[in-house]
Amino acid sequence: MPSDAHEAAPADHAPANASLTPGGVARRAGTDESGKGDYFGPLVVAAVAADFATASRLADWGVTDSKKLSDGRVRTLARQIVAAEILHAVVVIGPEKYNQLYARMRNLNRLLAWGHARAIENLLEKTTVELIIADQFGDAALIERALFERGRQVRLLQMPQGERDVVVASASVVARAGFLHGLQALSEGTGMTLPKGAGPLVDEAAARIIMRFGVDKLGSLAKCHFKNTAKAQALAARKD
């Protein structure tokens, strides 16, 4: 286990709650995603399984919603989760696959539900749980419809701000670490730093990619239905 395995959580980011779930649930899973609001990089969905003792240990480590953590802290916590052999499953949807799925589904929430369902099914191949908790991002029926037979046999609870539960927060950490790894790999392959988010810096980077490689290159690096694509094309045209 890494030497910083017992590093205290920053005072301004209290750990998630170890027991938000209904009483009597001995083992549960949580799912969350990362990258849905980032133009560059993959969409990553993770599912984590834990009993109450493991959930308490995650809370002791300071696990909380990855959006409240620095990239370095996310990577540290993700390494701890892997080193402790806490069961988890990760679905990485790279930009090319993402663009294909979005072209077919034409709806981000349906695509998210597909990713959550695949992560749940992959996790349930490794272990059993009594309850699955997912952060609610749309119509609750979307994930239910996307599940296969194994997943449909387990109770699914979708709730706003699901990351308040430490198992869901753990999934958010694992997913974010996967996103950061994927973004770094794409940056290295392109020879330029691909920024996170979807702001002006992203527009500038996308415009540079268009000018250097052509607009089709974005299909392997970015989520092309974002408005950043049109903004980058306009920027690149003005710079020619």
Tell whether the torsion through CA atoms of 118, 88, 43 and 94 is positive or negative: negative
- The contacts of residue 45 (CB under 8 Å, 6+ apart) are 31, 32, 33, 90, 91, 93, 112, 115, 116, 118, 119, 175
**Which residue type is seen at 217?**
K
Q: What's the average model confidence in pLDDT over 18-39?
A: 81
Fold of 27-187: Nucleotidyltransferase; domain 5 (3.30.420)
Q: Which comes out higher in pLDDT, residue 122 or 22?
A: 122
Average pLDDT over residues 11-28: 59
Cα separation, 158 vs 156, whole angstroms? 7
Share of the chain above pLDDT 90, in %: 77
What's the pLDDT band for 47 if we cut at 50, 70, 90?
Answer: very high
User: Where does the pLDDT of residue 19 fall: very low under 50, low under 70, confident under 90, or very high at 90 and above?
Assistant: low
pTM, rounded to two decimals:
0.89
d(CA 10, CA 14): 7
Output the pLDDT for position 137: 82
Residue spans of alpha helices (H) in the chain: 52-61, 71-83, 95-105, 108-124, 141-146, 149-152, 166-190, 200-213, 228-239
Distances (CA, A) of 137 to 32, 109, 140, 232: 10, 7, 8, 28
Q: Where are the domains of the chain?
A: 27-187, 191-239
Which H or E element spans position 34? Answer: strand 27-34
Quickly count: other Cβ atoms within 10 Å of residue 82's Cβ: 14
Kindly report, residue by residue over 180-221, the tens digit of the pLDDT. Answer: 999 999 999 999 999 999 999 999 999 999 999 999 999 999
